[in-house]
Amino acid sequence: MKIHNFSAGPSILTQEVLLKASEAVLDYNNDGLSLLEISHRSKAFVDIMEKARSLALELLGLEGKGYKALFLQGGASTQFLMVALNLLEKKAAYLNTGTWSDKAIKEAKMHDDIIEVASSKDAGYSYIPKGFEIPSDYDYFHCTSNNTIFGTQMKSFPDSPIPVACDMSSDIFSRSLDFTKFDLIYAGAQKNMGPAGTTLVVVKEDILGKVSRKIPSMMDYKVHISKGSMFNTPPVFPIYTSMLTLEWLKNLGGIKAIEEINEMKARVMYSEIDLNPLFKGYANKEDRSNMNATFTLVNEDLKETFETMLKEAGISGLNGHRSVGGYRASMYNALPLDSVKALVEVMSELETKA
Amino acid sequence: MKIHNFSAGPSILTQEVLLKASEAVLDYNNDGLSLLEISHRSKAFVDIMEKARSLALELLGLEGKGYKALFLQGGASTQFLMVALNLLEKKAAYLNTGTWSDKAIKEAKMHDDIIEVASSKDAGYSYIPKGFEIPSDYDYFHCTSNNTIFGTQMKSFPDSPIPVACDMSSDIFSRSLDFTKFDLIYAGAQKNMGPAGTTLVVVKEDILGKVSRKIPSMMDYKVHISKGSMFNTPPVFPIYTSMLTLEWLKNLGGIKAIEEINEMKARVMYSEIDLNPLFKGYANKEDRSNMNATFTLVNEDLKETFETMLKEAGISGLNGHRSVGGYRASMYNALPLDSVKALVEVMSELETKA
Ligand SMILES: Cc1ncc(COP(=O)(O)O)c(C=O)c1O
Ligand SMILES: Cc1ncc(COP(=O)(O)O)c(C=O)c1O
Ligand SMILES: [Mg+2]
Ligand SMILES: [Mg+2]
Ligand SMILES: [Mg+2]
Ligand SMILES: [Mg+2]
């Protein structure tokens, strides 16, 4: 049975990427060795790393604009810390739109003064605050472009008088934006870019080197940049698989092309949520995420029937995060429109039955 | 042609492990999904993580002795920092036996006073210092059990009045030791345990929680322990492949069994280095590593001939580290004795020719 994989992360990758990645584990480039057992200093791997780094910049339209791309370890959670260590001299401004923003704030607070310019915490993070001011005397502004757990997404970004750092873990490479508005972008690979185990950081070099603290080597963006993202042994396989995914996206037509498909998927999904009286969306309509659609059953009595039907249709990974409950359909780049259609079909079938 | 893979890291893995890892990338457990695209909170992955953690403790003989095993990101280089952040209150004692020790010292120095109890730096790290004192009023003692670059290995460990932290990146699981002598052991996976992308940390819980600094979440061993090594998304594939390697080792008979094979390989290798007048060992004889044999050609004129012969025999990854030059035969657990024999054959053939 074909599985429709709505997992929130780690999440679906295309079959073409999985095939190549699987082959590389046995034999890379027919040279008799697995990709896993060759030196990261070999030409074979250095080429992979450089290709991944340049594809990331190219897809974001940031080539030749003073940005560097890094593939690091530690997950987006380590970026919560690295952003503060590298950019925070006195105080920083954070927008609190979800669990991940909140954790980013917590890690940064350890180092210095943080203000929350706005927060939707009291409303269960069901919307994106707007109309707030970003103070010009702060070191940087931090936001989360897509809130994986709650299913909200920033549709526009405020003009900022200070550098902007953005956690794009769950919507990187999914939509066109003017990425030059951001000075630092980071994203764990395991949603739109690859398997778990590497984190993309794209940083404008001229914002670095301005804090007075000594930064430990592994935490220092400048160190990683100076070593071409190879200060120490990089996570070879996660980076290779991410590179394959970026290549796939480029061949598809890049962000513009995937954006259209993503918008289509989201339209199909949210129409069903809205039109079907059995379901209710969680997030504020205008802030709905094109990546993670969160919704609940109006009548909890239908839970068992619905979940049996989901299972029979091969729909997997639909459980909502424990802090929201209900369901979450994660519709990342690699999820085909057909999978959304399969889900919507089950939902409307339930309506017929009920 | 069969390749004999002497790479220093990332390095050889057994064929059996590579086959299973490759299959899992396409379909894990025949459930229609790749291991790369399922949630790390799924039972399938939680089982893998728990198995990896318990196999690590079991193989080291540390089960039920107050230790916890973690599979983290960031490489051994991040441990240089984490050891200091978690254990260093006032001052720490380090043994400097190579480039990696030296880097560990550098990262720790950022945080507080460090003394080097002894160093072989002036002698090009060609030997292991002995007979030094470990002061009892220091927070911990740090050493590197095997010096990957220089080919030296600590054959015994000093009695220590203070907790002992040891970087075992390049000889973990390769020989029997009384591992209860160590309070913290860490090792990047990419030599004896798996592919690049995860780092094993084995720590005695009672040494933690004694420093006054606030430790960032991702840097805090206690945080990772409390979350079962799943504080954030773990590097799924590197951990799975490491688990497979630990399973392979257990089925082989564990550390005792592999130690015999490793000793055999080292004997064959070093005999040839010593008996063949064309080659000279780099490391002090009594400190020679069973993992990395470093040697040079006595007559550099033979370089081209030797390297052509190596290539023809399918011998790969033998280049010495740039800071030592010459050759380095890395003979990690997964390297078969036959590969060492193949190398030794080329070396003696060169002698016949010359
Ligand atoms: C928006 C966002 N930020 C950060 C994280 C944490 O990422 P990691 O587990 O790689 O640390 C996640 C994980 O789901 C996320 O969705
Ligand atoms: C003994 C030792 N320690 C530390 C390291 C650094 O490991 P990583 O590249 O995972 O940071 C190495 C790498 O070769 C090593 O051999
Ligand atoms: Mg969130
Ligand atoms: Mg509805
Ligand atoms: Mg060394
Ligand atoms: Mg000799």
B217, closest residue in chain A (CA to CA): A107
Residue A299, Cβ neighbours under 10 Å: how many? Answer: 12
Q: Nearest 5°: phi and psi at A40? A: -70, -10
**Could you list the active site residues of B?**
100, 167, 191
Residue A13: band (very low, low, confident or very high) from pLDDT cuts 50, 70, 90: very high
Q: Per-residue pLDDT averaged across A51-55, rounded?
A: 98
pLDDT in tens, B183-231: 999 999 999 999 999 999 999 999 999 999 999 999 999 999 999 999 9
H or E stretch covering A82: helix A75-87
Per-residue pLDDT at A354? 83
Instruction: Round to whole Å and give the CA distance between A216 and A82.
Output: 10
**Is residue B158 reached through a cis peptide bond, with omega within 30 degrees of 0 on the bond before it?**
no
Q: Do the annotations mark residue B322 as ligand-binding?
A: no
Q: Per-residue pLDDT averaged across A48-74, rounded?
A: 98
Percent of chain A topping pLDDT 70: 100
Q: What is the pLDDT along chain B (354 residues), one digit of tens a residue?
A: 889 999 999 999 999 999 999 999 999 988 899 999 999 999 999 999 999 999 999 999 999 999 999 999 999 999 999 999 999 999 999 999 999 999 999 999 988 789 999 999 999 999 999 999 999 999 999 999 999 999 999 999 999 999 999 999 999 999 999 999 999 999 999 999 999 999 999 999 999 999 999 999 999 999 999 999 999 999 999 999 999 999 999 999 999 999 999 999 999 999 999 999 999 999 999 999 999 999 999 999 999 999 999 999 999 999 999 999 999 999 999 999 999 999 999 999 999 998
- Identify all chain A residues contacting B12, using CB atoms and an 8 Å cutoff: 37
Residue A257: band (very low, low, confident or very high) from pLDDT cuts 50, 70, 90: very high
Whether the predicted pLDDT of A177 surpasses 90? yes
Residue count (chain A): 354
Ligand 2, residue B196: give the atom nearest the CA.
10
Domains of chain B as residue ranges with CATH: 15-252 (3.40.640.10), 255-353 (3.90.1150.10)
Q: Is the minimum CB–CB distance between B237 and chain A shorter than 8 Å?
A: yes
Q: Which of B29, B36, B110 to mutate to test the interface with A (most CBs of A within 10 A)?
A: B36
Using the beta-carbon criterion (under 8 Å), do B195 and A237 form an inter-chain contact? yes
**Bind-site residues of A for L-glutamate:** 41
Per-residue pLDDT at B38? 97
Whether the predicted pLDDT of A29 surpasses 90? no
- Catalytic site residue from A139, A171, A183, A191: A191
Using the beta-carbon criterion (under 8 Å), do A38 and B317 form an inter-chain contact? yes
Evaluate: CB of B232 within 6 angstroms of ligand 1: yes
Retrieve residue A308's tokens: 């049996």
- Low-confidence winner among A112-116, A219-223, A252-256 (lowest mean pLDDT): A112-116
Whole-number mean pLDDT of chain A? 97
CB-defined contacts A:B, below 8 A: 189
Question: Which residues are CB-contacts of B7 (< 8 A; sequence separation ≥ 6)?
Answer: A37, A38, A39, B316, B317, B330
Per-residue pLDDT at A52? 98
**Is residue B277 reached through a cis peptide bond, with omega within 30 degrees of 0 on the bond before it?**
no
pLDDT in tens, B139-196: 999 999 999 999 999 999 999 999 999 999 999 999 999 999 999 999 999 999 999 9
A248 labelled catalytic: no
Whether the predicted pLDDT of A313 surpasses 90? yes
Per-residue pLDDT at B31? 86
As to burial, measured by CB atoms within 10 angstroms (0-12 exposed, 13-18 middle, 19+ buried), residue B47 is exposed
A353 labelled catalytic: no
A177/chain B closest Cα distance in angstroms: 27
- Catalytic site residue from A167, A171, A183, A287: A167
Is residue B188 within 8 A of residue B319, CB to CB? The reply is no
Ligand 2, residue B149: give the atom nearest the CA.
16
- Identify all chain A residues contacting B194, using CB atoms and an 8 Å cutoff: 36
Which residue's CA is the closest to the ligand 2 atom numbered 2?
A: B169
Is residue A317 within 8 A of residue A5, CB to CB? The reply is yes
- Identify all chain B residues contacting A36, using CB atoms and an 8 Å cutoff: 10, 13, 18, 21, 194-196, 241
